[in-house]
Chain A
Amino acid sequence: VAGAMALAFLAAGCTGPAATSPTVPAKAGSGFPVTLTDDASRTVTIKAPAKRIVSLAPANTEIVYALGAFDRVVGVTTYDDYPAEAADVAKMGDFTTPNLEAIASAKPDLILVTGGVQADVIGKLESLGASVLVIDPRNFAGVRRGIEMVARALGLRDKSDQVVAEMDARLERVAKAVRGAEETTCFVEIGWNPLFTAGRDTLIGDLVRLAGGRNVVGESGYVGYSVEQLLKDQPRVYLGTSASLTDRATIAQRPGYKRLQCVMSGRVIVLEDNLVSRPGPRIVEGLEQMARALHPDRF
Chain B
Amino acid sequence: MGILSKSRALVVLAGLAAAVILAVVAGTAFGAVSIEPGVVVRALGRALRGLSLSSDEAVVVDLRFPRVLLAALVGACLAGAGVLYQALFRNALADPYILGVSSGAGLGAALALAAGGLGAASLVAVPVGAMLTILLVAAIATRRGVMDTLSLLLAGVAVSYTLAALTSFTLVVRREQMSRIVFWMMGGLQSATWQQVAVVSAMMAVGLAAPLFFTRELNIILLGDERASELGVDVERFKRLVLVAASLLVSAAVSVSGLIGFVGLMTPHMARLILGPDHRLLLPASILSGAVVMVTADLLARVVLAPVEIPVGIVTALAGGPTFVWLLMRTRQARS
List the A residue with the shortest CB-CB distance to B303. Answer: A226
Taking the nearest CB of chain B, how far is it from the CB of A211, in angstroms?
22
| Contact stretch, chosen from B235-243, B268-276, B280-288, B308-316 | B308-316
How many A residues face the partner with a CB closer than 8 A?
33
Task: Enumerate A245-270 residues with CB–CB distance to B below 8 Å.
Answer: 246-247, 250, 253-256, 258-259
| Whole-angstrom CA separation of A118 from B221 in the bound complex | 50
Indicate if the CB atoms of B183 and A191 lie closer than 8 Å: yes
Task: Enumerate B27-53 residues with CB–CB distance to A below 8 Å.
Answer: 31-33
A100 contacts partner chain B, Cβ-Cβ < 8 Å: no
Task: Enumerate B46-75 residues with CB–CB distance to A below 8 Å.
Answer: 55, 58-59, 62-64, 66-67
Taking the nearest CB of chain A, how far is it from the CB of B36, in angstroms?
14
Indicate if the CB atoms of B306 and A229 lie closer than 8 Å: yes
Taking the nearest CB of chain A, how far is it from the CB of B46, in angstroms?
15
Interface of A is mostly: loop
Contact of B58 among A193, A225, A254, A259 (CB under 8 A): A259
Contact of B191 among A224, A232, A255 (CB under 8 A): A255
Known: A255-B191, A259-B62. A224 touches B179 (CB 8 A): no
Indicate if the CB atoms of B59 and A228 lie closer than 8 Å: yes
Q: Which residues of B contact A (CB under 8 A)?
A: 31-33, 55, 58-59, 62-64, 66-67, 117-119, 172, 175-176, 178-180, 183-184, 186, 188, 190-193, 302, 306-311
List the A residue with the shortest CB-CB distance to B64. Answer: A228
Indicate if the CB atoms of A223 and B308 lie closer than 8 Å: yes
Q: Which residues of A contact B (CB under 8 A)?
A: 78-79, 94, 190-196, 217, 219, 223-229, 231-232, 242-244, 246-247, 250, 253-256, 258-259
Chain A hits for B192, CB < 8 A? 255
List the B residue with the shortest CB-CB distance to A195. Answer: B190
13 contacts between A and B (CB under 8 A): A78-B172, A78-B175, A79-B175, A192-B180, A193-B118, A194-B186, A226-B33, A226-B302, A227-B190, A228-B59, A255-B192, A256-B62, A259-B59
Nearest 3 pairs of A and B residues by beta carbon: A229-B307, A226-B32, A224-B309
Indicate if the CB atoms of A229 and B190 lie closer than 8 Å: no
Chain B hits for A258, CB < 8 A? 62
Contacts A231-B58, A247-B117 aside, 6 further interface pairs with beta carbons under 8 A come to: A193-B184, A229-B306, A255-B63, A255-B190, A256-B58, A256-B62
Indicate if the CB atoms of B55 and A228 lie closer than 8 Å: no
Contact of B309 among A194, A242, A255 (CB under 8 A): A194
Chain A hits for B178, CB < 8 A? 243
| Whole-angstrom CA separation of A247 from B302 in the bound complex | 26
Known: A253-B119, A255-B62, A255-B193. A194 touches B307 (CB 8 A): no
List the A residue with the shortest CB-CB distance to B179. Answer: A243
Indicate if the CB atoms of A196 and B183 lie closer than 8 Å: yes
List the B residue with the shortest CB-CB distance to A260. Answer: B55
Chain A hits for B309, CB < 8 A? 194-195, 223-226
